[in-house]
Structure 1
Amino acid sequence: MSRLRIQQLGFCLIALLLITGCSKVEYLKVDSPAYLRVFNNLNYEKTLDGKDQEVPFLAMLIDPVMDEKGMPVSTAILGDFLDQRAPYAPPYPSHVGNSTSVNNPEYPGKEDVLVAPVLNGFDLSSWAQVPSGKHRIVFMFRPKNTVPFFNLEPRLKTKVLIDTIIVLQEKEVYTLNVLQKDYQSKKNGVLLRHENFYKLPLSDSLVYVNFYNLSAKGYWEADYIEKGGNIGSKGALGDGIRDRMNVFYSLYRKTSTESMLSNYSGKYLGEIKRNTGEPDVSPYYSFPLFADPLSNGIHTNIWQRLDLLAPGMDPYSKPYSGIDKTTDNNWAPISCFSNGTVPLDYIRGDENYVLLPNMIVNIHSGIYNPRSFATVNTIEIVNGKAYLTTIQRKYAAPIYK
């Protein structure tokens, strides 16, 4: 065979590989969209209290088509491999491209779908576009493997967790939480929250946060060991908090509890109430981005400490110390520091706190590396665990010299 013929065959093979190896994602336009983000909050531990419960690994079906036996055969929207949520939901869908696992800590998360646009300066690319209107939504238990839901054996597509109806308004933003609503009966459900942060007159110089206690009824009264309150790094929060608590905050410089900002020590912030039934949006509270007088107005290294305390207590009158993992459900501290993965013994002081990322985002923007940005945050308490969702406005791209 001539060299020219071999070269021609080689070019053909390369072209064939390029054509077959690269597939184009075809996005279908969503008419009159609403914007939806979904979290799986079924975070129960494998203990005596939870030994008979299904592994909380889900498939979400919006407007499914069922056969005569009630088994789904297709669906308008599929959120597959929906795993238990991660402690931190960042401002951008950073799960995409950063993981080799099919497991998805939220929807849309890793799903390759149309996402929400920028609204009032906020980047909502962590919300999926879905048609507005009335929808049937079904959550089903599925095996924890890598087989797509509709490729599973029929016997593995029969366990319905939740089957309900939701209504979404056009161009509105929603967060849907899958929850355990009653700890003793193990009743589950969903809570659809109609967000409003993008409609509020929020300042770029303030950091905002609101709070939800989405814990199941009866969780905090249950036995500490049997519910798994001692499993993992839950601190005093593992035992649960009472249905009504007050939130105090303190701001610190750098890494030490010895560098508290004097004007931001144990300040009352607001209230948190247990609620898994009403989709009310909690009020937002705020603190200054550049509260530290030593900051230069571009970057700050302050971090936040939150104290959840029963009514009648404050950070200086509580009858507990920082080594107490059980506090009669009266006190649970949370430290929002660095990226939320620093070892718990790195910060001097209390040992019974939960660690979450800093609510202030520090990132390369423009000529500054790093630059500090105020954010809008939600902290949700669910059965002894804390979850932080951070939302950020669009910022200038980095300039490299």
Structure 2
Amino acid sequence: MKTQRILHGVSVLGLFLILFTACTKIDYTQIDEPAYLRVFNNINYVQTMGSKDDKVPYFCMLINPKTGADGKFTGAEIIGDFLDKRDPYAPPYPSHIGNSTSLSNPEYPGKENVLVGPVLNGFDLSSWAQIPSGEVRLVFAYRPKNTVPFFELEERLRNDILIDTVINLQSKEVYTLHLLQKDFVKKDHGILLRQENFHKLPLSDSLVYVNFYNMSAKGFWEADASLKDDDYKLASFKYGIKDEMNVYMSLYESQEELSHYAATVKGYRGKFMATIRRNTNSDVVSSYASFPLWASNHANGIRTSIWERFDFFAPGMNPVTNPFYDSDRNTGSNWAVLNCLLNGKVGLTSNENGTLLPNLLVNVHSGKDNPRTFATVNTIEVVNGRVYLTTIQRKYAPPIY
């Protein structure tokens, strides 16, 4: 292989990072037939009496590791070190580059300075890393939560392997890999490799797309509440959701009124979106549901202030027959609520028990418009009482000033 000099890819939304970080040149290894890979660690550590002996899920990822005569790892073609649990929100630009406050990496490539994906069919893949296509050996090794690089650790600290497997990647294809707990009782772990298709679909610029997954471990929602994370931010999701759930969406007219009693966009109160079933094995991509970017009558074609609420209901229940409104009690995993608005850090009404994440719409300064609203493609994933949002945006032509 040969090396070339190239700057880390940055999306339009990520350009503001340049104002805060110096522009440096780095030597990269050229990959002739790359696949594009993004990795999330979905294993969370909960400090309870039942989990006090569990290992902290903090990893080094090795792709095509090298071994010595004794069979021990001596290096790897690609190293993704300090892999910590994922953030609740993965924005449509590589937000972790230049963040030096901690070595911990909430995803791969995340903070790693590596060759990243191109703009593919209009989608910016700068949050995906280029890796060799074909048959690839993949290892996740436990590591101490410190600042010492993996191969500088004492040898005795480099031999605790969680996953050692082989995956097959096609050239120029886009993959998302999830490290998961498969069985909550047995504490079994594994991976789920999903070959994405958003860049191949005939998607409209005027529609917002979202698909859903429940990647919770077997037995999680049935387990005793004392074994689960009691973080209040998880709200109604912290107990888990049942293995089959129906998802309904409501669109609210204005982010100046953040209440589920507020006015909704006509035709978008409790609209059915999808049925999801718990799955930690199948790599099938869920179908995307959509709604119009300019659904509100108050939208002007430049900006809209709508926000989204997603209700997850067990079969036989729906927003009309929901007995849990205005309740903060355990719903028996029959109902959970996700509110997507502003930056996800605001409160709703005092009796609102929904988890908060950012809006599916992106509002940014663009040309003479400040802000302008853009449609996105989104994935919402539920994993063991937590809910995650990944947003992808197309790369548009430069704005007119």
Q: Same fold judged by TM-score > 0.5? A: yes
Offset at residue 350 of structure 1 (A): 4.3
**Distance of 2:73 and 2:23 partners within structure 1:** 31
> What is the alpha-carbon distance in structure 2 between the residues aligned to residue 60 and residue 399 of structure 1?
43
The yes-or-no answer on 1:27 pairing with 2:28 is yes
Matches within 5 A, 1:242-281: 242-252=242-252, 253-256=254-257, 257=259, 258-281=262-285
> Are residue 233 (structure 1) and residue 223 (structure 2) matched?
no
- CA gap 1:320/1:292 in 2 versus in 1, 3 angstroms: same
2:306 paired with 1:302: yes
CA–CA distance in 1 between the matches of 2:325 and 2:306?
24
Q: Distance in 2 between matches of 1:141 and 1:263?
A: 49
Correspondence 1:291-370 to 2 at 5 A: 291-342=295-346, 346-348=347-349, 350-370=351-371
1:172 aligns with 2:173: yes
Q: How many residues end up aligned between the 2 structures?
A: 376
Residue equivalent to 2:383: 382
Separation in 2 of the partners of 1:70 and 1:232?
Answer: 46
- Give, in whole Å, the separation in 1 of the partners of 2:135 and 2:275: 33
SS at match of 1:198: helix
Q: Helix, strand or coil: the match of 1:239? A: coil
Please state how far the C-alpha of 1:97 moved relative to its aligned partner.
1.5
Q: Deviations over 1:115-170 (max 9, x none)?
A: 00001100010000011000110001111111111111111111101111100000
Alpha-carbon distance in 1 for matches of 2:24, 2:356:
41
Q: Secondary structure at the match of 1:49?
A: coil
Structure 1 residues 264 and 160, CA, compared in 2 at 3 Å: closer, same or farther?
same
In structure 2, what residue type is equivalent to 1:357?
Answer: P
One-letter amino acid of the counterpart of residue 153, structure 1: E
SS in 1 for 2:66: strand
In the TM superposition, residue 323 of structure 1 has moved relative to its aligned partner by 3.0
Deviation at 1:99, TM superposition (A): 4.0
Residues 22 and 390 from structure 1, CA distance in 2 versus in 1: closer, same or farther, beyond 3 angstroms? closer
State the Cα distance separating 1:100 from its structure 2 match: 2.1
Say if 1:366 and 1:396, in contact at 8 Å, map to a contact too: no
2: CA distance, partners of 1:194 / 1:94: 23
Higher alpha-carbon Rg: 1
Q: Tell me the CA shift for residue 318 of structure 1.
A: 1.4
Q: Displacement, 1:68?
A: 4.5
Indicate the larger mover: 48-57 or 385-394: 48-57
Matches within 5 A, 1:1-400: 24-228=25-229, 230-252=230-252, 253-256=254-257, 257=259, 258-342=262-346, 346-348=347-349, 350-397=351-398
2:226 counterpart SS class: coil
On the 8 A contact 1:36/1:174 being kept in 2, the answer is yes
Could you tell me how far 1:399 is from its partner in structure 2?
6.4
Deviation at 1:65, TM superposition (A): 1.4
Deviation at 1:348, TM superposition (A): 2.4
Give the CA deviation at 1:397. 4.3
Contact residue 364 and residue 398 of structure 1 kept, 8 A: no
Distance, in Å, in 2 between the alignment partners of 1:325 and 1:390 is 31
1:246 Cα deviation from its structure 2 partner = 0.2
Is the 2:255–2:342 Cα contact (8 Å) retained in structure 1? Answer: no
Output one character per residue of 1:292-329: Cα deviation in whole Å (capped at 9) or x when no partner: 10110110111000000011111121121333241011
Instruction: Assess if the C-alpha contact under 8 Å between 1:235 and 1:325 holds in 2.
Output: no
For 1:236, what is the secondary structure of its paired residue? helix
Alpha-carbon distance between aligned partners in 2 of 1:22 and 1:338, rounded to the nearest angstrom: 31
> What percent of counterpart residues are identical?
59
- Do the aligned residues in 2 keep the contact of 1:332 with 1:353 (CA within 8 Å)? yes
Deviation at 1:220, TM superposition (A): 0.3
Quick one: which amino acid aligns to residue 374 of structure 1?
A
Q: Note the aligned Cα RMSD (angstroms).
A: 1.6
Q: Please, what TM-score do these two structures have when normalized by structure 2?
A: 0.91
Unaligned runs of 5+ in 2: 1-21
Q: Deviations over 1:193-219 (max 9, x none)?
A: 000000000000110000010000000
User: In structure 2, how many angstroms separate the alpha carbons of the residues matched to 1:55 and 1:378?
Assistant: 27
Q: Note if contact 2:45-2:56 (Cα within 8 Å) is conserved in structure 1.
A: no
Contact 2:34/2:130, CA 8 A, preserved across alignment: yes
- Structure 1 Cα separation of the partners of residues 201 and 351 of structure 2: 36
SS in structure 1 of the partner of residue 47 of structure 2: coil
Q: Is the 8 A contact 1:333 1:352 kept in 2?
A: yes
| Amino acid across the alignment from 1:206 | L
Inter-partner Cα distance in structure 2 for 1:360 and 1:83: 27
Aligned to 1:14: none
